[in-house]
Structure 1
């Protein structure tokens, strides 16, 4: 059956989850609460990994919640039809996730403000003065690795068109003609928020290189104090192996007509640099040329440069 993407504000979205109405409501009418924490990514950039990390931090390192409740229930995809319904009934403080570019993010977010009251008890702790309202955790990843992972994911998930070839998917990715739009636009847009107190930027590569240090930084940003034992539990239960074995986040509970894991594995490799096994020299050079043109002065901000 042919896949017809939903289009909102010129960007394509998978049809099984999204509707133009849900996207418009999320963009224009969704009311952000000042103790909301948003997990924002471009697809295949560590979304599920960060969901597990944030859930574990929320639970003080106790993995029981992660092991018993689906990740989409713990951290609803609030732009989708079912996720929006969950988010609207979700008890505060909410953990929410999405792939939205900054221009389609809820407009109410940019007016959110800190509230210090009894209802403002986030992460099990009372807010302290000076907290800047709702927060965004934005994870980004080497776009070449994103592309490879996205290619394999699109072959498995029924809500995405099965790519004709890697070469064709590469051309579509570079032109932004893929669901959720251009990686370059997505990253440039969110990077404009860097330096604001309620935005936290981290790369997939940083998580790989120093997960413990990354968890500590996240705890500081979220004002959640965890002892070393709790941090160790977060690190252990957010490891790639632990996630592969956890049915609440590895998508094996999804029916075959939604996610066909006979065509691949949802949590496939979880490594950095796999693009080198897929790109030809010519493809890599063509990618680098467009990357340098699109990202300009931002290149030095990332650990992968143009490689």
Structure 2
């Protein structure tokens, strides 16, 4: 999403995304560096955040700022978050996959409960300055998603600019861009010797990791926590959503396995 917005802001010109790291293009407001650097950005400026709504700066809700919330299948979030935790220097070791899954379901992970997070932000849905979309929708129809974002921002693009945004914000393009793949960060923050930040960039990979027991445990908590919520793209039929029954419990990933961004 940072890449998409960076490109839209420059009418599809990739010069900015190829010359400035994404954390400088869209500073994270929950970091000290981000909190102080965003004021130096020219308007309109981009901000990023993983904060739950109750911790997000209240001034934003009384401004003309527009918010785009990117959701993702929480099962894939678990897998992605686990791999990320293996290389992120600021996070404790995630332990075994099963231990991490239990911590995730209890909300005992960075930024708290995924369930509380999405339920808090989705209350904004329907407001003219709030757009909810998902990682799955970006994958299924990137061009349509970019067009929708442009309409929301009031920044229409011609066909050539739109094509450039789509081409430069694909997973492959970002993985090859040192300004977007986080390889410029020091090993103390993100140890790329243990794996890449951008790992697979697919949906549904959780089925290759969850055991049947883990899937059933997750589904019980998901049904309880998300009761009364609207359907999401990842709310599949039970048959489609099941992992391979022959799958053995997954061992902890080896150090050379990679990671990817854990979008809430």
- TM bin, normalised by shorter chain, reads 0.7 to 0.9
1:85 maps to 2:16? no
Q: Which residue of 2 aligns with 1:204?
A: 135
Q: Which residue of 2 aligns with 1:168?
A: 99
Shift of 1:269: 0.3
d(CA) in 2 for partners of 1:231 and 1:88?
A: 28
Structure 2, unaligned stretches of length 5 or more? 242-264
d(CA) in 2 for partners of 1:107 and 1:304?
A: 30
Shift of 1:89: 2.3
What secondary structure does 1:96 align onto?
Answer: coil
Q: Which residue of 2 aligns with 1:101?
A: 52
d(CA) in 1 for partners of 2:61 and 2:171?
A: 34
Post-superposition Cα deviations, 1:31-52, rounded to whole Å, max 9, x if no partner, equal xxxxxxxxxxxxxxxxxxx000
What TM-score does the superposition give when structure 2 sets the normalisation length?
Answer: 0.88
d(CA) in 2 for partners of 1:238 and 1:168?
A: 34
Q: Which has the higher strand share?
A: 1
d(CA) in 2 for partners of 1:256 and 1:111?
A: 39
1:268 maps to 2:219? no
What TM-score does the superposition give when structure 1 sets the normalisation length?
Answer: 0.76
d(CA) in 2 for partners of 1:225 and 1:90?
A: 22
What secondary structure does 1:97 align onto?
Answer: coil
Assess if the C-alpha contact under 8 Å between 1:56 and 1:62 holds in 2.
yes
Q: Which residue of 1 aligns with 2:16?
A: 65
Q: Which residue of 2 aligns with 1:242?
A: 173
- How many residues are aligned here? 237
Q: Which residue of 2 aligns with 1:10?
A: none
1:285 maps to 2:216? yes
Q: Which residue of 1 aligns with 2:80?
A: 149
What secondary structure does 1:151 align onto?
Answer: helix
Bigger relative contact order (CA 8 A; separation at least 6): 2
Q: 1:304 aligns with which of 201, 225, 234?
A: 234
Shift of 1:295: 0.5
d(CA) in 1 for partners of 2:226 and 2:202?
A: 23
Structure 1, unaligned stretches of length 5 or more? 1-49, 113-132
Shift of 1:134: 1.2
d(CA) in 1 for partners of 2:231 and 2:7?
A: 28
d(CA) in 2 for partners of 1:99 and 1:137?
A: 12
Post-superposition Cα deviations, 1:3-35, rounded to whole Å, max 9, x if no partner, equal xxxxxxxxxxxxxxxxxxxxxxxxxxxxxxxxx
Shift of 1:110: 2.1
Q: Which residue of 2 aligns with 1:255?
A: 186
Q: 2:3 aligns with which of 52, 76, 79?
A: 52
Q: Which residue of 1 aligns with 2:156?
A: 225
d(CA) in 2 for partners of 1:83 and 1:108?
A: 16
Shift of 1:92: 1.6
Q: 1:180 aligns with which of 107, 111, 134?
A: 111
d(CA) in 2 for partners of 1:246 and 1:180?
A: 27
1:216 maps to 2:167? no
What secondary structure does 2:124 align onto?
Answer: coil
Shift of 1:91: 2.1
